[in-house]
Amino acid sequence: MGDIKELKQVEQYANQCMKCGFCSFFCPVYQEERVETSVARGKNYLAKLIIKGEQGFTPEMAEIIGKCLLCKRCAANCPAKTQIDRVVVAARADMVREKGLGFIKGFVFRKAMANRSAMGRYARLMQTFQWLLPKTAGNVRHLPDFIKSMGRRNFPELSRTFLRDRVKSVYSPSGKPQMKVGFFMGCAIDFVYPDLGFKIIDFLVRRGVEVVVPKEQNCCGAAVYFSGDFETGRRLAEANIKAFHDVDYIVSACGTCSSTLKDYQKYLPDNDDMQKRYSAFGEKVKDATEFVIDVLKVDPSTLKLKREFEGKTVTWHDPCHLVRYQNIKDQPRAILKGFKGITYAEMPNADLCCGMGGSFSVYHYDLTKKIAAKKMDGIRATGADIVVTACPGCMINLIDNILHNGMPQKVHHLLELAE
Amino acid sequence: MIKESLIAEFEKIMGKENVLTSKEALRAYSYDGTTNWVREPDVVVFPTTASEVAAVVKIANAERIPVTPRGGGTNLSGGSVPWLGGIVLCMTKMDKILKIDKENLSATVEPGVVLQDLTLRLAKEGLFFPPDPQSFLGATMGGIISENAGGPACVKYGVTKQYVLGIEVVLASGDIVSLGGRTLKNVVGYDLLHIFISAEGTLGVITKAELKLNPIPPAKKTIVVVYDDVAKAGEGVFRVLENGVVPDKIELIDNWVINRIEEMMPIGLPKEADAVLLFEADGVPEAVEKEAEKIVEITKKYGATDVKIAKDADEANKYWLARKAGFAAVFGKAKTVLAEDVTVPRGRIPDLIRKCKELAKKYDVEVTVLGHAGDGNLHPSILTDVGNKEHYARAMKAMDGIIEGAVELGGVLSGEHGIGLEKQKFFNKVTDPVVVDMMKGVKALLDPGNIMNPGKIWN
């Protein structure tokens, strides 16, 4: 049996499970499949067998460990507080070290790509973006994933120019800045929503913040280290820590990015020095929604609504990486309720995962659609015109599924609503 | 091992995706909610109709292959562990609520419906299914009926068998029969329906059930009662009832559990209290108001040191959440927990608690007590470590003592978890041999090939 360094580290969490099975009620994947290998209890049991040396990294095991959204609903509702997400990520990391990234991805990928038309769209996209790859391949290893996922979706059009090409490196407020914030772009804002990036920079600068946008910043690493590639994850972590070494805060408008940057210290440290540096870095990271309310202490009632949203009914979708990874749920709602001119309607299943799960949706697109269908029911029940969230990953998936279901809602990032 | 040709037949019946044979899948179906009972099946199948169930059972019967029906796998008896290998018949994909009949206050469900899903659906109609096993987030109706499950609300509402009007069952022969019906009253010959309730899947496979429902009571109130002696808390239970108040729940939490709860999620339970009783009264608002006052009065009269009525639903929920966390608190503090569900007549609760304390001292082990005091169903739990042979042996002796003690007090071995594998070694000891023979006779009649969940209940 191979080296199981990472699983050993989280053995205590695996052992906390008392097999009550309550996680089955909260697991979006189990809710669709109704099979024990889908749910936290089953995955945890098998992980324990790996630790004991009784179970190997078989192709079946790769599929089981891969088929998890990491939405953390199981962990959030576990009476024994088992952090099963940590166990799943550790199992992936050990598997990647033993078998290589292609093993875990490749096995499932062959199934996912059986669809010829999807394959064609994928190839076309790859062609379109070939020019991009040599430039970023070394830095952004998950970019092919990102593009693969687009090949099969109703995807918002990619921006003609990316944020990285247009953004300045320093934005100063008039007057003495009250603090210096590093803006972390993240892939989606960089490639798809560059205007949102400018908007947030402007929002912060107008409130007396000096914003720097280091060119050396990299991908946050979520798709990389959650897939088990810790080695690349560490490289990205080091690059980002270096890029943002001289700021008071690092702010991201992507829930996944902000949580990923905060959590380097949880998943990636290999020694005490790393642990110390990653923790110190993580403490400076704030999600934009959290930063506006908790740090800038903006009074939501002073926020001015952008004209086009006046009279609309708006609902909020909790991204997993905000509500469960960062416990951010009140701040975005406070902002939304502060806007005058919109009606806020709470979604009945606001904190249910949208089904995206990063590269999960690349490999299990049919499951993603089924899980998203439940989200769509929640959205319909609110009668909202607009679905607001704060994670571009969720936005992409929500747009895709709203279109699939022939629904009228538009999807926006929370801060797009502000004038 | 099962022949390849049979696997192919199963695939023909249910489709490839509903027949699992990978080592990993078999391992994921080797356990239930207990700690120590693990055995892998040879195949896991997921039927979606009663006729698919019948087809599988027919083949199994002809080939003499063990069939273990399984739902959510949350049971605490080893009952859904495929102890002799063979087929796990997993009912989780038969998960439709077929009908809710408001006029008749009943619902028709498939066996794989999860209780919480049913509860949420019924709530929209203002109805509820009263039995409330605390595994409701994962437990499925087929299992709940097969184990005759109960929970806190049993004080007032009773257990599952009082809420099943009829079932559709696949027998070992492959015949599909309906027992009971849709009416509240039914005396047409032997009451065979109730032989299948609490049979733990040893007589047949439930493929449909007609459930009796109640309207949701419009008001609820929670009362927290503090005691400086856990045995006095035990007395408080029957004093309230004998004085004419029937709360829907009376739960007991002892000092050890109170302190673990306060460590996990401080909600202001008195840490020095030897025990706390949580009462819930439900019904029409005026009656609930009066009952709450009466509970305060009676418990004070019989030795409570402090009594408090929760001021609103939020405060009440806090206490019930704490009670729910109680088990997690216990399980989180030891490598192995021997959790029992002995049940005694209500008046003997103080005696049982004293017995638990005595045994804890005698064998030098931690015994915590929490449970559904209202119906005499306590869950004394012994904290131990199966890896520490010497300690575990003492824990087992204490457990034997608790069970013997409960039986001496006129109680039973299991109130709601069932016998399965976990309590087999006590079953023969406490059950009249003639009665055991009767049970075996019923089993032989309905399942002559002994294929239905074999190896359970008796040795």
Residue pLDDT, tens place only, A356-403? 988 788 788 889 999 999 999 999 999 999 999 999 889 989 998 998
Per-residue pLDDT tens over the stretch A43-57:
999 999 999 999 999
* Chain B residues inside the 8 Å CB shell of A49: 27
* Chain B residues inside the 8 Å CB shell of A80: 328, 331-332
- Whole-angstrom distance, CA of residue A354 vs CA of residue A321: 11
The percentage of chain B sitting over the pLDDT mark of 90, rounded to a whole number, equals 85
Per-residue pLDDT tens over the stretch B145-204:
999 999 999 999 999 999 999 999 999 999 999 999 999 999 999 999 999 999 999 999
| Chain B: closest CA distance from residue A111 (Å) | 14
- Whole-angstrom distance, CA of residue A34 vs CA of residue B96: 13
Per-residue pLDDT, averaged over B328-340, amounts to: 81
CATH entry, B334-418, from 1.10.3470.10, 3.30.70.2740, 3.30.70.20, 3.40.800.10: 3.30.70.2740
Q: What are phi and psi of B57, to 5 degrees?
A: -65, -40
Q: Does A36 contact chain B (CB < 8 Å)?
A: yes
Q: Does A25 contact chain B (CB < 8 Å)?
A: yes
Exposure string for A70-103, b = 16+ CB within 10 A, e = fewer: bbbbbbbbbbbebbbbbbbbbbbbbbbbebebee
**pLDDT confidence bin for A328, thresholds 50/70/90:** very high
B1-216+423-459 and B334-418 in the same fold = no
- In one letter, which amino acid is A185? M
Here the ipTM equals 0.94
* Chain A residues inside the 8 Å CB shell of B325: 79
DSSP string, B319-359: HHHHHHHHHHHHHTT-SEEEE---B--GGGHHHHHHHHHHH
Per-residue pLDDT tens over the stretch A192-229:
788 999 999 999 999 999 999 999 998 898 888 898 88
- Whole-angstrom distance, CA of residue B271 vs CA of residue A57: 47
- Whole-angstrom distance, CA of residue A256 vs CA of residue B380: 44
Q: For residue A131, what pLDDT is reported?
A: 39
Contact A350, A344 (CB under 8 A): no
- Structure tokens given for A92: 């992936």
Q: Does A16 contact chain B (CB < 8 Å)?
A: yes
**Contact state of A19 with B35 under an 8 Å Cβ cutoff:** yes
Taking the alpha carbons at both ends of chain A, their separation in whole angstroms is 58
In the stretch 265-324 of chain B, residues with CB closer than 8 A to chain A read 324
CA B83 to chain centre: 20
Per-residue pLDDT tens over the stretch B124-149:
999 999 999 999 999 999 999 999 99
Which of residues A126 and B361 earns the better pLDDT score? B361
Q: For residue B326, what pLDDT is reported?
A: 80
Question: With 90 as the cut, is the pLDDT of residue B427 above it?
Answer: yes
* Chain B residues inside the 8 Å CB shell of A42: 28
For B90, the closest chain A residue by CA position comes to: A35
Q: How many CB atoms lie within 10 A of CB B221?
A: 23
Least confident of A85-94, A110-119, A320-329, B178-187: A110-119
Question: With 90 as the cut, is the pLDDT of residue A109 above it?
Answer: no
Per-residue pLDDT tens over the stretch A160-192:
678 888 999 999 999 999 999 999 998 888 877
A260-265 contacts, C-beta under 8 A, 24 or more apart:
A260/A220, A260/A221, A260/A222, A260/A225, A260/A321, A261/A184, A261/A220, A261/A285, A262/A325, A262/A326, A263/A325, A264/A221, A264/A233, A264/A237
Per-residue pLDDT tens over the stretch A243-261:
999 999 999 999 999 999 9
Q: For residue A177, what pLDDT is reported?
A: 93
Contact B355, B378 (CB under 8 A): no
**Contact state of B328 with A18 under an 8 Å Cβ cutoff:** yes
- In one letter, which amino acid is A265? Q
For B330, the closest chain A residue by CA position comes to: A80
- Ramachandran region of residue A406, left (φ > 0), alpha (ψ -120 to 50) or beta? left
Question: With 50 as the cut, is the pLDDT of residue A89 above it?
Answer: yes
- Give B164's strand partners: B211
Cα dist. A266→A75, A122, A141, A262, A393 in Å?
15, 34, 21, 8, 22
Pairing of strands B87-90, B67-70: parallel
| Chain A: closest CA distance from residue B337 (Å) | 10
Where along chain B do its domains lie?
A: 1-216+423-459, 218-332, 334-418
Per-residue pLDDT, averaged over A7-36, amounts to: 95
Q: Does B23 contact chain A (CB < 8 Å)?
A: yes
The percentage of chain A sitting over the pLDDT mark of 70, rounded to a whole number, equals 85
Contact A28, A67 (CB under 8 A): no
Least confident of A102-116, B13-27, B398-412: A102-116
Domains of chain A plus CATH, in order, are: 5-107 (1.10.1060.10), 163-295 (3.40.50), 300-417 (3.40.50.1860)
pLDDT mean across residues, chain A: 87
**pLDDT confidence bin for A143, thresholds 50/70/90:** very low
Least confident of A273-287, B83-97, B258-272: B258-272
Cα dist. A358→A32, A102, A139, A221 in Å?
18, 17, 18, 11
**Contact state of B95 with A34 under an 8 Å Cβ cutoff:** yes
Q: Which of A407, A403, A400 is nearest to A385 (CA)?
A: A407
Q: For residue B386, what pLDDT is reported?
A: 85
**Contact state of A35 with B92 under an 8 Å Cβ cutoff:** yes
Contact A393, A256 (CB under 8 A): yes
In the stretch 328-387 of chain B, residues with CB closer than 8 A to chain A read 328, 331-332, 337
Question: With 80 as the cut, is the pLDDT of residue A297 above it?
Answer: yes
Per-residue pLDDT tens over the stretch B210-265:
999 999 999 999 999 999 998 899 999 999 999 999 999 999 999 999 998 888 88
| Chain B: closest CA distance from residue A410 (Å) | 29
- Whole-angstrom distance, CA of residue B351 vs CA of residue B50: 47
Which of residues B92 and B415 earns the better pLDDT score? B92
Contact B168, B182 (CB under 8 A): no
* Chain B residues inside the 8 Å CB shell of A29: none
Q: Which of B353, B341, B346, B223 is nearest to B277 (CA)?
A: B223
Q: For residue A119, what pLDDT is reported?
A: 39
Pick from A19, A24, A81: which is nearest to B31 by CB?
A: A19
For B34, the closest chain A residue by CA position comes to: A19
Q: Does B124 contact chain A (CB < 8 Å)?
A: no
| Chain B: closest CA distance from residue A17 (Å) | 9
Taking each continuous run of H as one helix and of E as one strand, the counts in chain B are 15, 18
Q: Which residues contact A23 (CB under 8 A, 6 or more apart)?
A: A30, A39, A40, A41, A73, A74, A77, A78, A84, B138
Q: Does A60 contact chain B (CB < 8 Å)?
A: yes
3-state secondary structure A203-258: HHHCCCEEEECCCCCCCCCHHHHCCCCHHHHHHHHHHHHHHCCCCCEEEECCHHHH
**Contact state of B23 with A58 under an 8 Å Cβ cutoff:** yes
Q: What is the dihedral of CA A359, A364, A366, A371, to 10 degrees?
A: -70
Q: What are phi and psi of B454, to 5 degrees?
A: -70, 155
Question: With 80 as the cut, is the pLDDT of residue A125 above it?
Answer: no
Q: What is the pTM of this model?
A: 0.92
Give the mutation candidate from B24, B110, B119, B381 for the A interface (greatest A CB count, under 10 A). Answer: B24
CATH topology classification for B218-332: Alpha-Beta Plaits (3.30.70)
**pLDDT confidence bin for A105, thresholds 50/70/90:** low
pLDDT mean across residues, chain B: 94
Q: Which of B258, B230, B215, B3 is nearest to B126 (CA)?
A: B215
CATH topology classification for B1-216+423-459: 3.30.465
- Whole-angstrom distance, CA of residue B216 vs CA of residue B200: 29
**pLDDT confidence bin for A120, thresholds 50/70/90:** very low
